[in-house]
Structure 1
């Protein structure tokens, strides 16, 4: 329905490169055949790093043929490591001279020694290198030092980009042995959340589908498997300067500018279900919270199915109303008031926002912020046990599938 390019109505900033842009991370110029820059932030990953790099150098195309190593390069930044991560990476690079593996070691000041900043430095460098080749559709692909990409990871990302995606989130699966070793309550919570999120994704497909992200798909857009074109990285303003979660903030920045984001099932990564992480909001932290909830015999509560369905229905109605306003057709006040009530925002505020030149991603983000300010949404919907939410979602989907 909407033309993505024509709806970039704001003057979006150009990518914000590292402040000391005169000192690039990698002095060796990229190969003229390079299509993909893979970035790997590393902090004390000595136990998993060889497996991570081995997976990256054994890449094949979608027919199973060895991928030409000249088509991609790997930039690894070992920051503030107290183990042998950097030495392991340098040794690996020497053993595999046919692969362009650039190892950089840095000790960042405490104020910058966090994963969001490290990933930003790396993605800025990848953008700089692809831009030097004139590759606007060149791909910046991110993974982590405790993750192993699938053999077709690069090829699958390129496939989705060639099919029209501007950015791709890969399916991230936890490693079986580390998952099995989890505390039983934490493991049960983890598996239920995965099921809950998948059911929400399917419900969204029925109630407010994205033509560029069709079902079947998944729900993840995290740094362990995140790819974006150089062009769209610049339009989004680069990786947002937030401590964490920087990957979710970047996804929101992409949605804000109507980027075509694909949650691809073809792109797969296995990651560790470790309980000691680099941030206070990542998987490791969540696992520890579930462990503590189990000790305290606390239920795992989530947003109910009715609230999720209402959000998707209202978002679709808002999208249609926004489209009408964009094309000069002002919706009647009663219809705006009805939708405002459903969204939990004031009708007067919504009428005002519909007259502004926002992209739809910007508009809905403002609606969600307004919902928090007015607190009407949270007061209307009380959280329920995740088992109940899953059961209700399944019942609703049964009728929709028919």
Structure 2
């Protein structure tokens, strides 16, 4: 069922910092053939940066032919570095003059020196450059300074956009050698978590299928591999100005405006499995938490399969009810009461929200916030050991396949 698409234009009024950043690049106009602006936030990545940039310049199309370098440019912002990251990037650019690699070095004030702000500055600049070419379906593609994109990363993102996606999350894999150096408990937690989330993604395709995000698909929508059209970037209001988990916040902003989001297995990136990261929340932080859980002999608890299935079933019923309300049909009280009970919210509250002009993404976000306020969902569903959850998800998927 096709959802209503809300249109609004984001306000990109820049602060002085962004004006200074744009001014640095304004004398270097994008190639008229540019379809993709790749952004790379970098902070103290001297050890990994050469590999990151090497992967980006050796891009091929889906048939394995070298991708025309005029079709994309790379914008790298080295912020608050105390190592040779900026010098390495500049040297790399000088050695590869056929690639449009723009390197900017900045020392941001403490209040601005966080990954969410840096990625926002970069993505806003990519939006400005693509807009100057009139490319509404031009692609802003994000990766990280400790990650190596696959040879077809740009081509696969473009393929998914051509197929109708507004935004694409790539599959993010950890470096195998670094992963093998993790302690056994941390490594087991990582592998189980990946399997758990992958099974949830499969279950979702059965219980609430999405034409633009059909199986095979994965579950990730993170900054190491995130692509969005310039048009949808503006419609979503740009990258939210949050300090951490800016990629997750942006995904939620895309969901609010009914963006067609694709979790593509064709788009792949390898990232570091280090346990000391550059952000307070992220892969490194998660690995460190698992390592500490192992030292404390704590169980790895996650949401149960029953809770996950109930959420998907309820969300699909809510979507149907929302669509009916859009068409002027007032939902009857028994059906609203039944769904409200399943969601753990009051029927009166749900009726009120169904009469408001929300997108479905906005409506379900309000439902989740209400569940937290009333603590009904958490009190009903208790977390379980991840091994039990994986077993239960496998059994449920087996029955659905049959």
- Interval of TM-score (by shorter of Structure 1 and Structure 2): over 0.9
Q: Deviations over 1:283-335 (max 9, x none)?
A: 10111111111011000000000000000000000000000000011111000
Matching of residues 104-115 of structure 1 within 5 Å? 104-115=104-115
**CA drift at 1:26:** 1.3
Distance 1:298 1:248 in 2: 27
Q: Which residue of 2 aligns with 1:26?
A: 25
Distance 1:15 1:82 in 2: 34
**CA drift at 1:16:** 2.7
Deviates more, 1:15-24 or 1:246-255: 15-24
Q: Which residue of 2 aligns with 1:98?
A: 98
Distance 1:167 1:277 in 2: 26
Answer whether contact 2:3 2:258 (CA < 8 A) is retained: no
Matching of residues 340-379 of structure 1 within 5 Å? 340-379=340-379
**CA drift at 1:209:** 1.0
Q: Deviations over 1:349-395 (max 9, x none)?
A: 00000000111000000000000000000000000000000000001
Show structure 2 runs of 5+ residues with no match.
Answer: none
Q: Which residue of 2 aligns with 1:332?
A: 332
Q: Which residue of 2 aligns with 1:14?
A: 10
**CA drift at 1:3:** 4.4
**CA drift at 1:82:** 0.3
Distance 1:267 1:188 in 2: 25
**CA drift at 1:48:** 0.4
**CA drift at 1:15:** 4.3
Q: Which residue of 1 aligns with 2:213?
A: 213
**CA drift at 1:78:** 0.3
Q: Which residue of 2 aligns with 1:180?
A: 180
Answer whether contact 1:15 1:236 (CA < 8 A) is retained: no
Answer whether contact 2:344 2:371 (CA < 8 A) is retained: yes
Distance 2:399 2:56 in 1: 43
Distance 1:194 1:245 in 2: 18
Answer whether contact 2:3 2:360 (CA < 8 A) is retained: no
Alignment CA distance shift 1:359-1:76 (3 Å): same
Large movers: runs of 4+ above 2 Å: 15-18, 20-23
Aligned residue pairs: how many? 398
Answer whether contact 2:171 2:267 (CA < 8 A) is retained: yes
TM-score if structure 2 supplies the norm length? 0.98
**CA drift at 1:183:** 1.5
Distance 2:12 2:182 in 1: 40
Note if 1:283 corresponds to 2:300.
no
TM-score if structure 1 supplies the norm length? 0.98
Answer whether contact 1:166 1:228 (CA < 8 A) is retained: yes
Answer whether contact 2:206 2:400 (CA < 8 A) is retained: yes
Answer whether contact 1:17 1:124 (CA < 8 A) is retained: no
Distance 2:193 2:14 in 1: 36
SS at match of 2:169: strand
Matching of residues 2-401 of structure 1 within 5 Å? 2-4=2-4, 7-8=5-6, 12-20=8-16, 21-23=18-20, 24=22, 25-27=24-26, 28-401=28-401
Alignment CA distance shift 1:17-1:45 (3 Å): farther
SS at match of 2:25: coil
RMSD: 0.9
Q: Deviations over 1:125-171 (max 9, x none)?
A: 00000000000000000000000000000000000001100000000
**CA drift at 1:14:** 1.1
Answer whether contact 1:167 1:261 (CA < 8 A) is retained: yes
Distance 1:100 1:279 in 2: 28
